[in-house]
Structure 1
Amino acid sequence: MSEIKVPEMGESITEGTIAKWHVREGDRVHTGDVLAELETDKVNLEISAEQDGVIEGILRQEGETVGIGETIARIGAGGDAAAPAGKPADETDGGARPAASGDADKAAAATPSAQEATAPASAGASSNDSRTSEQARQAADGYAASPAARKLARERGIDLGQVAAQDPIGRIRQEDVKAHSEQKGAESSKAQQSTPAAAAKTGESAVAVSDGGKPVERRKMSRRRITIANRLVEAQRTAAMLTTFNEVDMTAILDVRKRRKQAFQEKNDIGLGFMSFFTKAVVGALKRFPLLNAEIKGDEILVKQYYDIGIAVSAKEGLVVPVVRDADRLGFAGIEKQIAELAGKARSNTLSLNDLQGGTFTITNGGVFGSLLSTPILNTPQVGILGMHKIQLRPIAIDETTMANRPMMYIALSYDHRIVDGSEAVRFLVVVKELLEDPESLLLEG
């Protein structure tokens, strides 16, 4: 028998939450099969089987927090000791085996019944096998319980370690599991009818409670959402954050995309979007104002000589910021391909830790959701983040006598005022504006 343990997941991750089990006790698995999905602060990871065998015990349930190296399940070689989970006793191999299990239960309880007195003699011959099987199962998880009790506990998602045994020798029986289940149900119902705080203790991910006679849905926050919330609050608490704004005339970029979009797609097998223009413009501005590509560490400033640009992506469980590595060395097609690949990973929950670590500056695009103006929050320890917004036609004064409707976008730069002065931030944003309004200059910036 081998133990399934929570694997190492990176320096900054010490625990996770079991999001989903893909197997049940008694299931036969093969090497490489996905057993469970683990949700961490940053990514979701799959835990796979390292050998063939049968799941003999699931020690931690969905929603529970587990630490690195903690045992969450056990895999055995299989055989007669483990029947498929949820399989009725009368469907197991050998007609005598159900009777043997029943006899073992009765003998342990030391309360013979009329059925025991008239049991076939052949049943006694197989009772030793049944007891051996049951003892192996008890040794696996540390609890003495009848097969019927185990089956009911699995069906109702009950941890046998929380069930009180009425049997004098401490053996958990089916009636004990039923009593425990009914007690939990009564406590849950009572908690839901009391205060909202008490309702939250039931552990349900979504509990309907009453608030002044009006319905309220109470949902448990996911680990990732909690982490996002903590990081945003920490950014506002630790950084001297300030935001400056400007606007960009997108006419030239729209014209380039209109003329080059099809040829670009055919040549590179990827669409020409706006993010490659903005990434290039940001890199060009960072080269002129390197303090926006730095971070504070203690009483030192670390100015980074590389340009790993984080691109904020909205995923199902919250915002993530995968990183485009060495963006200064990539062409437009390379940037677009990396962004498309990372966005796809984010939405399918397959991002790795390496995809998320080490960014030097972040770009976020609220315009895809219709945002006209916003103040983005820093992605610490970075000291700068650029916010893109919706492109909107607005009347613009071309000169003293001419007005025209132009596709305009507001851009916002949030920065850490501890190391970036206001004049630097304003000039940085002006450079971004100038590069975007003259796309040819992006080629000269490299």
Structure 2
Amino acid sequence: MSEAIVMPKLGMTMTEGTITEWYKDVGDSVEKGEAILMISSEKLNQDIEAPISGILLTKHGEVEDELEVGAVIGVIGVEGETASTGNKKVEQSIAVEVTVPETDSAAIAASTAKKARTSERIFITPLAKKMAEREQLDIASIKGTGGNNRITKQDIQRVLANRLDDKSATSSDRTARAMSVDLATVGEGLSPMRKAIARNMRGSLGQTAQLTLHRKANIDHLIDFQKVLQKEIASSDLEVKLTLTVLIARATVLALQELKKMNSLYQDGQLTEFDEIHLGIATSLEDGLLVPVIKDAHQKTIGSLAKELKEVTEKARNGEANGDLLSGSTFTITNLGASGIEYFTPILNTPETGILGVGASQDELILTENDTVKSVKKIPLSITFDHQIVDGATAAEFLTILVSYIESPYRLVL
């Protein structure tokens, strides 16, 4: 019996994937576990393997087509078999047969002019169909922007936004329309990875009220603490690379444990605060950015945190990161210190409430209590937060707690 190849969900926020490359053509034989095609989504390239051995009977998308999670990409079966998904339950696009009632000729002509497809199959996702029915929209008049001209949720939202009457709309209605973003058109012409980044960034800015606070921390004691630990590591023949980023990550984890409001997700109209801390580490690539995740960072020592940070970032840069490694974060850190940048405004990795930006350390002269001038090293920190969820005072409190751990580093091991 034939079996469908479906678009997998590789990350928590993934809703669709782009076909990057087909390795097989219709009629080619395949072995179970063999790579059939490559997809790209959520800034990740991933090979899709054959679920069974057989013949590739059909393809339901070509290179650069976008299919929603769960949609059928192709079907594998035996030679001569009719392609079928069998009893496999997949949340895929459904085809709706639209017919025009035989009323008067004028009505038929108007309907035909409105949409040439009225007697053809119209592809629409289940969610979009439900939204259209609820809003009493004529799907025959809606242009689909998904794969195979599929009507998606974004298309329904676009139509609903355009139905607003500017003359009668309130000021907030007009503002909402002006700020709305049709994510289906964002990133057109870019590579799959850049397109995913573009959509994520535009979506983040469109869904949240982002504000960034900045503050510096004295890292003189942190550097001394790092040297002490490095000396102990060397004498114990441990293979641990103890960077300042690791120590700041540890300080961030402790600060999040003290202020759980910052360790939260706002998604589907629900706010969830977490005891568990899954730390996203923004990692630059040659052609983009990935955010691998250190799961249960609150349970890790500085040494284990250092090992896992090195491991996840190397996997990301080597193209070995899978969907599980790139999903599930509750808070993210991004570091531009190596680029010489001091302050910047990180964009939220939605649906997270906060993201910490770390800049390049700088030497500064300060006046001591004895009226003497002293040189100290400070590091700039930038916290971007969703003002819908927390206020500036809460974000400022988080930075205060974080700085206290950085400036009193022995607390990191107590």
Whether TM exceeds 0.5 here: the answer is: yes
- 2:222 maps to 253
Matched with 1:365 is 335
Give the residue type in structure 2 aligned to 1:434: S
How far apart are 1:397 and its partner, in Å?
A: 2.8
Whether contact under 8 Å (1:57, 1:75) holds in the other structure is no
Offset from partner CA, 1:49-81 (integer Å, 9 cap, x none) = 34556667767443333453424365766xxxx
Q: Which one-letter code corresponds to 2:6 in the other structure?
A: V
**Which amino acid is 2:339 matched to?**
F
| Within-5 A mapping of 1:233-272 | 233-261=202-230, 263-264=232-233, 267-272=237-242
Cα distance in 2 for residues equivalent to 1:373 and 1:66: 38
How far has the Cα of 1:407 moved from its partner? 2.4
Alpha-carbon distance, 1:3 to partner: 6.0
Q: Is the 8 A contact 1:311 1:363 kept in 2?
A: yes
Q: Quick one: distance in 1 between partners of 2:388 and 2:362? A: 34
What residue number does 1:152 align with?
none
Shift of 1:332: 0.7
Quick check: 1:348 aligned with 2:310?
A: no
> Matched residues in 1 for 2:57 and 2:264: separation?
51
Q: Distance in 1 between matches of 2:198 and 2:213?
A: 24
Counterparts of 2:62 and 2:385, CA distance in 1: 43
Query: Could you tell me which amino acid in structure 2 is paired with residue 72 of structure 1?
Result: G
SS at match of 2:324: helix
2:352 to 369, 379, 382: 382
The answer to whether 1:315 aligns with 2:305 is no
Residue equivalent to 2:72: 70
Contact 1:253–1:439 (Cα < 8 Å) also in 2:
yes
Question: Deviations along 1:30-51, whole A, 9 cap, x unmatched?
Answer: 4433232111235322122345
Q: CA deviation at 1:291?
A: 1.6
In structure 1, what residue type is equivalent to 2:347? I
CA distance 1:422–1:58, shift in 2 (3 Å): closer
Q: Which amino acid aligns with 2:36?
A: L
Question: Given the two structures, how large is their TM-score scaled by the length of structure 2?
Answer: 0.65
Q: TM-score, normalised by structure 1?
A: 0.60
1:43 aligns with 2:44: yes
Paired residue type of 1:17: T
Matched residues in 1 for 2:226 and 2:392: separation? 33
Deviation at 1:308, TM superposition (A): 1.6
Partner residue in 2 for 1:433: 403
Residues 74/299 of structure 1: CA separation in 2 closer, same or farther (3 Å cut): closer
Match of 2:379 among 399, 404, 409: 409
Give the alignment partner of residue 230 of structure 1, picking from 190, 199, 218: 199
Aligned partners of 2:266, 2:51: CA distance in 1, in Å?
Answer: 43
Correspondence for 1:292 among 236, 243, 262: 262
More helix by share: 1
Using a 3 Å threshold, how does the CA distance of structure 1 residues 7 and 268 change in structure 2: closer, same or farther? farther
Structure scoring higher RCO (CA < 8 A, sep ≥ 6) equals 2
Deviation readout 1:152-185 (Å, 9 max, x if unpaired): xxxxxxxxxxxxxxxxxxxxxxxxxxxxxxxxxx
Q: Hey, what's the Cα distance between the residues in 2 that align with 1:419 and 1:246?
A: 21
Q: Secondary structure at the match of 1:355?
A: coil
2:248: which partner in 1? Answer: 278
The Cα shift of 1:289 comes to 2.3
Deviation at residue 235 of structure 1 after TM alignment: 2.8
Match of 1:393 in 2: 363
Separation in structure 2 between the aligned mates of residue 312 and residue 373 of structure 1, nearest angstrom: 16
Q: Which one has a bigger Cα radius of gyration?
A: 1
Q: Is the 8 A contact 2:225 2:410 kept in 1?
A: no
| Comparing 39-48 and 373-382, the one that deviates more | 39-48
Question: What is the number of residues matched between the two proteins?
Answer: 308
Between the aligned partners of 2:229 and 2:378, the Cα distance in structure 1 is 21
CA distance 1:269–1:396, shift in 2 (3 Å): same
Q: 1:48 to 1:420 in 2, by over 3 A?
A: closer
Give the letter for the 1:239 counterpart: T
Aligned equivalents of 1:49 and 1:238: distance in 2?
37
Tell me what 2:388 maps to.
Answer: 418
> Cα distance, 1:286 vs. partner?
2.1
Deviations 1:86-127 (A, max 9, x none): xxxxxxxxxxxxxxxxxxxxxxxxxxxxxxxxxxxxxxxxxx
Task: State percent identity of aligned pairs.
Answer: 29
Q: Structure 1 counterpart of 2:229, which letter?
A: R
Q: How does 1:23-102 map to 2 (within 5 A)?
A: 23=24, 29-51=30-52, 60-67=61-68, 68-72=70-74
**Within 2, Cα distance between the matches of 1:240 and 1:57?**
45
Is residue 44–residue 350 contact of structure 1 (8 Å, CA) maintained in 2? no
Tell me: CA distance 1:261–1:9, structure 2 relative to 1, closer, same or farther (3 Å).
same
List runs of 5+ in structure 1 lacking aligned partners.
78-135, 141-217
Instruction: Give the AA of the match of 2:38.
Output: E
Question: Contact 2:342–2:360 (CA<8 Å) still a contact in 1?
Answer: yes
Distance change >3 Å, CA 331–CA 69, structure 1 → 2: same
SS at match of 1:310: strand
How far the C-alpha of 1:400 sits from its partner, in A, is 4.7
Is residue 20–residue 38 contact of structure 2 (8 Å, CA) maintained in 1? Answer: yes
Alpha-carbon offset, residue 330 of structure 1: 0.6
Structure 2 residue runs without a partner (length 5+): 84-186
The separation in 2 between residues aligned to 1:246 and 1:261, in whole angstroms, is 27
Q: Is the CA contact (8 Å cut-off) linking 1:43 and 1:350 kept in structure 2?
A: no
Amino acid at match of 2:338: V
Q: Distance in 1 between matches of 2:60 and 2:256?
A: 51
